[in-house]
Amino acid sequence: MRTKFTLSSISLIFIFLAGCHTEQKINNEHIANYVEISKQEPSYFQLTDGSTYIPIGINMINPSGKYNNQPDSAFYEIDQWMKNLSENGGNYIRIWLSPSFWDIEDSLAGVYSEEKAKRIDRFIAMARKYGLRIKMTMEHFRSVTLEENPQSWATKYVYHTSHGGPLDSIRQYLISQEGQKLFLDKLDYYQQRYGTDTLFFGWELWNEMNAMRGPEDSIFFAWNEKMLRETKQRFPENLVMQSLGSFDAERIRETYRRMMLMPENEIAQIHRYLDLGAQMEICQAPMDIICSSAIEELRTYNTGKPMILAETGAVEPRHSGPSKYYPLDTAGILLHDVLFAPFFAGSAGAGMCWHWGQYVHANNLWYHFGRFSQAIQGIDPIREHLVPGKSETEDFRIYFLRGKTTTLIWLRDKQNTWRTELDEGQPPRELDGASIDLAQLGIAVENDEISAYDPWKNSWHDLGSGASSVRLPSFKRSLVVKVQPE
């Protein structure tokens, strides 16, 4: 059944759902608080109870296409993903509300499918069960006709006049009263159905909206300023944000800078992939450099906001498909770098991988989320006032987060990369007898305890105390070193 949206037509539904959500929140106290930006340390998130929140998660946009017409099978698949993520320390997922499996506006412009809305309800309930906060991304389309953009997956046919809609172009969607009403009405629908649920990490207007062709910058930014404000008015307790396409070309730098500095956009997000067809050479660099440099780019904007690498992974040239290296990466070296590198470069959380089903689940790599969680256990970025730093030796790229009392260091073997291990088939070397000089990194050591965590073996090692030159345990690929008071 499909119903035209009105406030009165959904009020009873909303009341019923709100009651269900209240009962569920009592059983999930850890998600009973809103996510907000720390006033004390605005580079990081906290919860409204004052505790620090570090998002650790993945893009989980929709079920695999083979289940589009089999909802129960699709939800079984999603349940497996959520369960694995949650059991390994994950606390965050991102969904697009606009692909065909979820799209409530699937037949006529402004007419919403109750069946599809119930699918979203079910997804939210499952996330609540597993303690996973959700970033709700509302739209992803790039055109209303194939003439504007030949990507059928990114075309919103029901908005075009040929399908009974009010629009002739994507430009008209952005500037006309009829086009803007379509977005605002849907905002109202979501607000009335879900309210400002504490489960939501926040509301994202669009996926990579600058991929639209045609609209001038003045139109694009005016629309975003208005709709970010409108969204925040409807969801005052939730974070509001926007995303742009993969940062793989110089020409989009100014678009990124302007969007991330926009006051209405509460989070500085970036997308970047390992892409052998990208214009920027850095997109073919070792994966830790691809990810850390994305956060370093955001840092140059001085936004005063939390930074997140919101989409990353590896693709075939020019995003023509999942990377050919995925089936070879059974150890998860790409995912490891995706999780660790952004955080140690100053991100508010782990990097958020794409290809959740084709790569992470297919290779059973969920345990890497647990290894990241273990590595940062007990670290409070807000209270420590963490400051990122970076150095190099002949053997390592050294990323570190220096705090008031504790410093966390991530060592990455420079000779081990996706190219050496996945392309050339070279196994990772054993680093035996290596050492690190903390004084050269500007890290003062008095009576501090020094320990090391091997994320590949999931083991901690006591390295003693008080010495600035530290002999490291034998390890491969990477190692985390923690310096903290006794």
How far apart (Å, rounded) are the C-alpha atoms in residues 223 and 233? 15
Q: Which residue has the higher pLDDT, 446 or 34?
A: 34
Q: Is the pLDDT of residue 311 over 80?
A: yes
Extract the runs of DSSP E, i.e. beta strands, from 276-356.
307-311, 314-315
Average pLDDT, the chain: 93
Closest CA to 92 of 297, 325, 287, 372: 372
Distances, alpha carbon 424 to alpha carbons 29, 194, 218, 412, 413, in Å: 48, 50, 47, 19, 16
Tell me what pLDDT residue 13 has: 34
Distances, alpha carbon 226 to alpha carbons 12, 167, 175, 179, in Å: 30, 20, 11, 13
Residue 455 carries which DSSP code?
T
Q: What predicted TM-score, i.e. pTM, was given to this entire model?
A: 0.93
Tell me what pLDDT residue 1 has: 41
Tell me what pLDDT residue 30 has: 65
Q: How many CA atoms lie within 13 A of 16 on its CB side?
A: 7
How far apart (Å, rounded) are the C-alpha atoms in residues 231 and 172? 20
Tell me what pLDDT residue 9 has: 37
User: Mean pLDDT throughout 392-404?
Assistant: 97
Contact 436, 411 (CB under 8 A): yes
Q: Is the pLDDT of residue 14 over 70?
A: no
User: Mean pLDDT throughout 250-269?
Assistant: 98
The pair phi, psi for residue 275, each rounded to 5°, is: -145, 110
Give the chain's count of helices (H) and strands (E): 12, 22
Contact 344, 401 (CB under 8 A): yes
Domains of the chain: 2-379 (3.20.20.80), 388-484 (2.60.40.1180)
Tell me what pLDDT residue 424 has: 98
Tell me what pLDDT residue 466 has: 81
> Residue 18 — pLDDT band, cuts 50, 70, 90?
very low
Segment 204-233, tens digit of pLDDT: 999 999 999 888 999 999 999 999 999 999
User: Mean pLDDT throughout 100-109?
Assistant: 97
**CA dihedral for 60, 61, 67, 73, sign (positive or negative):** positive
Tell me what pLDDT residue 214 has: 80
User: Mean pLDDT throughout 442-471?
Assistant: 93
User: Mean pLDDT throughout 393-399?
Assistant: 97
How far apart (Å, rounded) are the C-alpha atoms in residues 326 and 287? 13
Tell me what pLDDT residue 346 has: 98
The pair phi, psi for residue 15, each rounded to 5°, is: -60, -45
Tell me what pLDDT residue 26 has: 28
Q: State in Å, rounded, how far the first CA of the chain is from the last one.
A: 64
